[in-house]
Amino acid sequence: MNPYVTNPGDIPATDMYADLPLYGRYFPRQDDFQVDLQHVNSLSTASLQYWASVVELCNESVRIYPADEGGRDVFALGSVIVKSSHLHDLGNGQIKEIDFSYADANEVQAIAIAKSILKDIRVPDIFFAGKVDGRQVLVQERLPGVGLNVAWQYLSQGQREAFKRQSREILRQLHAVKPTDGRQTRSLIVQDPNILSNGRILAVEGDILFSNTNIDPDLAFMHNDFNESNLIVENDRIVGVIDWEMAGFFGWKTAGEVHRRFRTPQREQFVNANLSEARLQEIMSWNDLYDDGMPELMACDTCASIASTSGDSPAEKQERSVLVDAGSLQKSAANGCLSCSLIQGIVQAGKTGESNVGSVEACVDKDGYLCASVEYYPTDGSIGALDLLYPFTDRETPWELIPIDKFTNPDPPTFESVVPLIQTWIQRCDLDHSCFKHGLEIPAELPTRVIDVGDSCHDPHLYITNGETGQFTALSHCWGPPQMLFKRLATTQTNLLAHCERIALDELPQTFRDAINVTRDLGLRYIWIDSLCIIQDSTEDWSLEVSRMADIYINAYVTLAADLAPNSDAGLFITNTCAINGAPQARHFSQVDDTGICHQIFVRRNWPKPGKNRRQGDVDNHRSCYVSEASSKLESRAWVLQESILSRRTVHFTNAELIWECDNSYECSCRNPMGGKPVMSVFKAALQRSVAAGDHSGETSNLASSAWHSVVEEFTARDLTYAKDRLPAISSLARMLPFPKGEYLAGLWQNRLMDDLIWVNPLGHLSWELDNNSGASSRLDTPEHPKNHRIQGEYAPSWSWASISAPVAFSMVDLSDITPGWRVTGARCMPITANPYGSVSKSSSLHVEGYVLPATFSIVTATKSIVDQNGNGHAAMEVCVVRGDKAFPGRNKTWFDTGVGGQEWRAEGYAYYALVIGYQADMIPLALVLRGRDWEGEEVYTRIGLVRLDNWKGHEWKAGGQQRAITIF
């Protein structure tokens, strides 16, 4: 049997604890009792009444540990553990109840210390410690998982020894803490004046802990009840430590003595049991936990500057480094310094080919983990390289002085394994974060339509909510190409009523089926799937529901993201692609720690950043679990960007494991520490701050505008099946910005119009410096970029970035250095659907006043180095200003919206102009490139690019044109 099964329904009758299904195992469920967070650690009248009602729920059916007279029973009540004696009859005062107030206070303080030390090991939160009806009650978090004592019966000898090694490492970490209040004797953290007489401990135990006859000077922090029942385990790892009531400053030897004599079985207890020696050894296998002793660790002169000390504050434990030469490092390692030996092993593992090692800079990064920057010089005399190396261990870090990251190769996600993990993440988020606090306190209004997921006896069906409230999941997925090469399903006007009656599971694409089954097992009734919950052949319904997507993803209880699925029928569980960081790519070596235990140390180089806009030379945080762009299909899709930004909590189903992302954390199922959050989390944070501020000016507007530029750049770099979806696919994000709705102008904001108009197509850039010598030019119209064009029909005006089907950037020009040289006198944008942030009429216009300079185009290179989509060659061009009958070319930096090979500047009957919209500190003007023509007696203008007129410094450009009022469509 799997030792880590937590579901009571899966426990066999032969299990030692089968008659106590709640003891030692916790499987979180949606309907578990949850603490009302407003009463946590509150002693108000209302809160005391609430805690009294909680105690009343604790009866025999949930009691997992009955206490002796005077003690407290332990109850497993849903997601909490309650300690209370309310079921005990005190016999009119004849039975003296132990005062546990000091014990509870001690546990609160011990847990606070433990949380600051144990990075990857959970300890329970305390929700309440106080008197209820005159009796001391403690309510604490119930950690998901299995008690080691419960799992023990199914573990191999190797697994048992591994848990013992992990336990010793945890104890060593605790031992690093010494009292800071000047105390000179062993004691609990919160000293109980009646500890030797109130019945909490035996007299002989008190003699060991507190007697002056014990002269051991060690006052290090110890758990002091570190037995198997207080360790929560999962997948061969200790994931939690509970019951800190007896923790204090007792030292290694004293805690070890108490452990051997009072916390574990003694041989004399089995004298009459007629057990074999092998069986006795198995029963007492935990007795020697402390027997290895606690060696003193010392850093040598070489590595002392990066070694941590127990007195370091968190700030002092960050970003330390030491620069050493290879010879000194090798000598220190040979002399027995374990830390230098570790660094030397990392250096040797990082070598490629025949090379010598130059300098080595060992660093402890801002997260407190080791990395090494190493110079390698090939023996053939060629140019060397600087490599940044990161080590990982295969278990708890063995070095107290220089900690290194752990690496765990995860099992591929399966339906059976993901739901308990997701439930754990959700519960932790509900208790520790405020990501979904509003949805827990006040259920949000459901979307217009949702899928009622049904159950094993009832098929799903489309449900019209009519304004009801409730909780639901949302699916984020790729539809796949429109060709019908795989199963697809959408709601249309034809099948709407049929879908409201029933949707057979076998009709659903695999991704939908998987998402529905996960939703069912999470205990939720509804899921929102765009293709089923929006009437796809109704323009009116589609526009209306797209405008509501912000509310849908913000209010979703959790979003399920099918990261790897290329289409709706691929499923959530796809594991046949590349492994995550560290597995086949990492080199490794063996290293013996200070206790003689052998560790595998994995070493790998930094990875390039994943993502659509990755540039050469970019690097990501080394603890990212994505290894390549291929790990997420969703990252390439424009529609998905707003889904990922707006979702409060997302579970990513990736190629190797699950990844959890919420507003406050980012972690993966392998438990490896994650790197920085995804690129758009910066926008998410800025968006939330600007929305929370609620004002429309000043710093908040600047923040929102900068965030908007970032998201547009990322959005336009992604793929869209239909180019006309550009504005609808980003409309939900636009609606969330703290600007008035009427100021939204087809992807631009009226109060930030100067900044928003300075968008360029970075691939449409020509500059004299580059092109005059190389002949290189715009790639937009070459066969490799066939989609870069102006979108035709009713969609967006030419001055909007949404009017072209190409990536755009705002970062090509320093906006902080621009002085406005024009004035906007009016703007008109007319939505053509029910979505005010969606597509607009092409007759939408911008009315401006400014200097309009006649312009033409100058050939930069004589050769026709540019090939358009039709195979025709073109010479590289630049915009130049005309004064009188003379053009002034030279060194003007030009960005064409759709490329030099395009026809926007070549059509007959057009005149070309440069509209100066601002100038930089050196008076170099920045201008929109316009083309104009007569239309029904009036000259009309459209944008075709942006130019910086480098050869028109000072105010010369004012003499070359005239100030006019014009309208741009």
Angle at 685 between CA 684 and CA 690, to 5 degrees: 100
How far is CA 285 from each of CA 59, 152, 191, rounded to the nearest angstrom?
35, 11, 32
Distance between CA 640 and CA 242 in Å, rounded? 41
Q: What is the mean pLDDT of the chain?
A: 78
pLDDT at 622: 37
Is pLDDT above 60 for 769? no
Amino acid sitting at position 1: M
Q: Could you tell me the two tokens for 272? A: 């009459």
Whose tokens are 């053509």? That residue is 832
Query: pLDDT category, 611, cuts 50, 70, 90?
Result: very low
Full DSSP string of 5-46:
---GGG--TTSTTTT-TTSSEE---TTS----GGGTT--SHH
Cα–Cα dist 786/867, whole Å? 12
The tokens for 224 are 């002091």
Taking the CA atoms of 277, 278, 279 and 284 in sequence, report the sign of the dihedral they define: positive
Mean pLDDT, rounded, for 712-731: 86
pLDDT single digits (tens) 131-183: 999 899 999 999 999 999 999 999 988 889 889 888 988 998 898 888 888 78
- pLDDT attached to residue 630: 44
Across the range 701-708, mean pLDDT stands at 70
654-666 per-position pLDDT tens digit = 776 788 888 777 7
**Where does 726-844 have alpha helices with state H?**
731-736, 753-757, 768-774
CA 19 distance to own-chain centroid: 40
Strand partners, 355: 378
- Residue 698 and residue 737: Cα distance in Å, rounded? 14
DSSP state of 363: E
For residue 334, CA distances in Å to 330, 331, 341, 363 come to: 6, 5, 7, 21
pLDDT band, residue 800 (cuts 50/70/90): very high
311 has pLDDT over 50: no
Strands 558-561 and 649-653: parallel
pLDDT band at 635 (very low <50, low <70, confident <90, very high): confident
**Rounded to an integer, what distance in angstroms lies between the CA atom of residue 93 and that of residue 804?**
84
Angstrom distance (rounded) from CA 495 to CA 486: 20
Whole-number Å distance between alpha carbons of 608 and 627:
8
Window from 232-236, 555-559, 608-612, 924-928 with minimum mean pLDDT: 608-612
pLDDT of residue 768: 37
Continuous segment of H or E residues that includes residue 89: none
Distance CA 637, CA 66 (A): 57
Domains in the chain: boundaries = 8-146, 415-579+626-679, 741-968
pLDDT of residue 568: 87
Over residues 388-414, the pLDDT tens digits come to 565 666 555 555 556 666 555 555 667
Question: Can you give the pLDDT at residue 136?
Answer: 94
Overall average pLDDT of the 236-258 stretch: 93
Inter-residue contact 238 to 229 (CB < 8 Å): no
- Please give the pLDDT value at position 380: 59
Comparing 309 with 494, which gets the higher pLDDT?
494
Residue 864 host element (H or E): none
**Is residue 682 over pLDDT 60?**
no
The pLDDT score that the predictor gives to residue 129 is 95
- What pLDDT, on the 0 to 100 scale, is given for residue 449? 96
Q: Looking at 326-471, which runs of residues are DSSP E strands?
A: 355-364, 370-378, 385-393, 405-406, 449-452, 461-464
Tokens of 222: 């110890």
pLDDT at 774: 38
Q: 849: pLDDT confidence band, cut at 50, 70 and 90?
A: very high
pLDDT above 90 for 498: yes
- Cα separation, 8 vs 778, whole angstroms: 65
pLDDT of 807 over the 50 cut? yes
Between β-strands 126-132 and 73-77, what pairing exists: parallel, antiparallel or unpaired? Answer: unpaired
More confident position, 532 or 860 = 532
According to DSSP H, which parts of 660-762 are helical? 681-693, 698-716, 731-736, 753-757
CA separation for the pair 166, 395 (Å, rounded) = 8
High-pLDDT (> 70) share of the chain, %: 72
710, 683 contact by CB (below 8 A): yes
Q: How far is CA 707 from CA 303, 443, 750, in A?
A: 43, 29, 16
Do 576 and 321 meet the contact criterion of CB atoms below 8 Å apart?
A: no
400 against 218, higher pLDDT? 218
CB atoms within 10 A of CB 698: 9
Cα separation, 403 vs 831, whole angstroms: 58
- Asked if residues 712 and 808 have their Cβ atoms less than 8 Å apart, the reply is yes
Q: Which residue has the tokens 């003694």?
A: 266
- Gyration radius (Cα) of the chain, Å: 34
Q: Which DSSP state fits 505?
A: G
| DSSP of 734-785 | HHHSSS-GGGEETTEEGGGHHHHH--B-GGGEE-HHHHHHH-----TTSTT-
Is residue 233 predicted with pLDDT exceeding 90? yes
- Residues 353/376, Cβ–Cβ less than 8 Å: no
Q: Is the pLDDT of residue 483 over 90?
A: no
Measured distance CA(722)–CA(296) in Å, rounded: 66
Which residue type is seen at 232?
A: I
Region 306-330 average pLDDT: 61
- pLDDT for 748 equals 92
Q: How many CB atoms lie within 10 A of CB 445?
A: 13
How many residues would you count in the chain?
969
In 3-state terms the chain splits into helix, strand, coil percentages (rounded to 5) of 30, 25, 50
CA 768, 770, 776, 778 torsion-angle sign: negative
> Of 541 and 858, which is predicted with more confidence?
541
The CA angle 618-624-625, to the nearest 5 degrees, is: 130
Q: How many whole angstroms separate alpha carbon 368 and alpha carbon 316?
A: 10
With a cut of 50, say whether residue 851 has pLDDT above it. Answer: yes
**Mean pLDDT score, 884-900:** 63
What average pLDDT does the segment 277-305 reach?
74
Q: What is the pLDDT of residue 520?
A: 94
φ/ψ of 898, rounded to 5, equals -125, 15
Dihedral sign from CA coordinates of 535, 538, 541, 546: positive
SS3 325: strand
* Structure confidence at residue 339 (pLDDT): 76
**For the residues 933-960, what does the mean pLDDT come to?**
75
Given this model, what pLDDT does residue 504 score?
93
Distance of CA 740 to the CA centre of its chain: 31
- Tokens representing residue 941 in the block: 């203008």
Which residues are CB-neighbours of 524 under 8 A, at least 6 positions away? 30, 453, 471, 472, 473, 557
Looking at per-residue pLDDT, the higher value among 172 and 680 belongs to 172
**Greater model confidence, 23 or 108:** 108
Backbone region of residue 746 per phi and psi (left: phi > 0; alpha: psi in -120 to 50; beta: other values): left
d(CA 141, CA 152): 23
Q: What is the mean pLDDT of residues 213-238?
A: 90
Q: Which pLDDT score is estimated for 870?
A: 47
pLDDT band at 95 (very low <50, low <70, confident <90, very high): low
Cα–Cα distance, 693 to 679 (Å, whole number): 23
pLDDT of residue 470: 92
Phi/psi of residue 427, nearest 5 degrees:
-65, -40
Q: Could you tell me if 759 and 802 are in contact, meaning their C-beta atoms sit under 8 angstroms apart? A: no
Structure confidence at residue 648 (pLDDT)? 87
More confident residue, 836 or 907: 836
Instruction: Determine the distance from the C-alpha atom of residue 578 to the mean position of all C-alpha atoms in its chain, rounded to a whole number.
Output: 21
How far from chain centre, in Å, is Cα 523?
24
Instruction: Pick the range with the lowest mean pLDDT from 269-283, 556-570, 722-736, 869-883.
Output: 869-883
Cβ burial 957-969 (10 Å sphere, 16+ → b, else e): bbebbeeeebebb
Would you state the pLDDT for residue 695?
Answer: 47
- What is the pLDDT averaged over residues 42-54? 94
Are 123 and 240 contacting, i.e. CB atoms less than 8 angstroms apart? Answer: yes
- pLDDT for the residue numbered 688: 57
Q: Are 95 and 114 in contact (CB under 8 A)?
A: no
